[in-house]
Chain A
């Protein structure tokens, strides 16, 4: 049966948001899941002043039609109130979304900002919040969405008959080729933002101890088994040998050993390093949901039966208290010999 395609397939991009590490994920997702049916993929890019280079980037990412929406608000971190206001007004502007937005599928990049903006747009525009979509399948009567539930242990299929639909996505594992696109377009609009009513925000810059997880080639993460701050101090020494970023599982944040900005897992950051070294982490599905599918995993755990080893390509069974100092010494020796050679 012929699927009924959404009226519009549109990626919404908060281009100035520093916490959105893959702004074009929605474009790639739509190209893979909807573009294959011949639908055009739109991108609405909202920022203080998105320029031509951003427009070109959107086209290279796979968008057919791009709207650059300038709102002029330069303060960072970007306000989600501003993003919701600007994107809602852009979506309903005549001539932006072909036909009407009411049958449209709108996707933002996964992350705290994307999830909030998508949900609030759904409420504001009488739409349906889809959640974090693993797959979207147009059908004869609307969409079927697949997403994780029960802490990542279940994949649920959800039917959404009437749009508009708003969700968040990560870049799909397999990208669809952009192919030859007819008449790609880049257009611009300006939307003025009204000053915020009531309340204010104070920011205090904090010197973060941890290097950012996003973009790290190697991530070293500690779990409950690290036992406390001294364990993480050792972990940081190891991470330094590997030029790695440091993260932690949910229990380590609860315990105050790691900041919530470095929590990895279903309810934390999603990381895609080349190598992920898990130390004292049992390997629950909730934690593993924070790793990209192509990530190579190594693990250190004193329990040979720990689930983490079923997800790893190499593992060291033993107590980190002995293993980490031994590894640090060896890595420093390798580095020194390498410099002498």
Chain B
């Protein structure tokens, strides 16, 4: 089975952000501040677990972004994918789901290594809030399962598991399937072996070019950005109490108790 893991990276939340020219968002960090996001990590771990259980599983990794994403690609290289690529999507292109789908289809349709399972984080990078993965699946004519927490193989079917309301779902589907992955205790990314970390620094990253967008081609284009406004004025002006003071504990308890007494 061929598994393709799509990775986007996110700006590490520890770095502040700045907006240049009213449009370009940058991390205030010495090296761009990118790291694998929590959902990237979950997707990668699910692929690795499949390979652990089924040694005939091929795991390819595709990082979507420009040269600033090479460091991310090397992090993924430490897990020894069969093929490691970077799809040279610009930040502007990543806002347009149609553009991303069109660029990725060349990889999906590649002869000889077409994936049976594509794993992608439920939010793909800093410019997506969850709609890109199902859009990709539908655009390609693939089955889609969202919010997946684990994947197993059952003969010729894939078994994708997720929690949904009051039930746990085990969805049995034939390939190909695109699954968006959410974080779960079972898919926390392992630490790579030290020897693989060292080897990853020399890893070859195959860069797949992407045609520049023509004017007006983007279905959705970033035209402005600003740092999110501070919390609403109804919050803040916090009355700070100390847990070391009996009187303060009484006051805090009274505050909480008042909520149980409201109708």
Which residues of A does B touch, CB under 8 Å? Answer: 18-19, 77, 80, 84, 112, 115-116, 118-120, 122-124, 128-132, 144-145, 147-162, 167-168, 198-206, 208, 217-218, 241-243, 250, 253-256, 259-261, 263, 266-267, 274-275, 277, 284-286, 288, 293-294, 296-300, 304, 309-319, 322-323, 326-327, 330-331, 334-335, 338
Contact = CB atoms under 8 A, between A and B. Distances in A.
A189 to B, nearest CB: 23
Contact of A199 (B172, B223, B248): B172
Given A266-B129, A310-B235, A315-B240, 19 more contacts: A115-B130, A116-B146, A122-B138, A130-B131, A149-B225, A153-B17, A156-B127, A158-B220, A158-B223, A203-B168, A204-B167, A241-B256, A261-B163, A267-B122, A293-B234, A299-B238, A309-B240, A310-B231, A326-B249
A317 B228 contact: no
Interface string B36-48: 0011000000000
B103 to A, nearest CB: 15
Contact of B225 (A155, A199, A285): A155
B204 interface: no
A129 B231 contact: no
A309 B236 CA distance: 7
A206 B173 CA distance: 22
Contacts of A151: 10-11, 13, 126
A129 B132 contact: yes
Interface majority SS (helix, strand, loop, mixed), chain A = mixed
A318 B244 contact: yes
B249 A330 contact: yes
B220 A304 contact: no
Interface residues of B, number: 89
Nearest to B171: A201
Contacts of B143: 199
A326 B243 contact: yes
Contacts of A84: 138
A155 B250 CA distance: 41
Interface of B: 10-11, 13, 17, 19, 25, 38-39, 95, 97-98, 101, 122-123, 126-139, 143-144, 146-147, 149, 157, 163-174, 182-185, 188, 216, 219-229, 231-232, 234-244, 248-250, 252-257, 259-262
Contacts of A313: 235-239
- Which of A84, A131, A156 has the most chain B CB atoms inside 10 A of its CB? A156
A112 B19 CA distance: 30
Smallest CB-CB A-B distances: 4 pairs: A318-B243, A256-B185, A123-B138, A330-B253
B219 A128 contact: yes
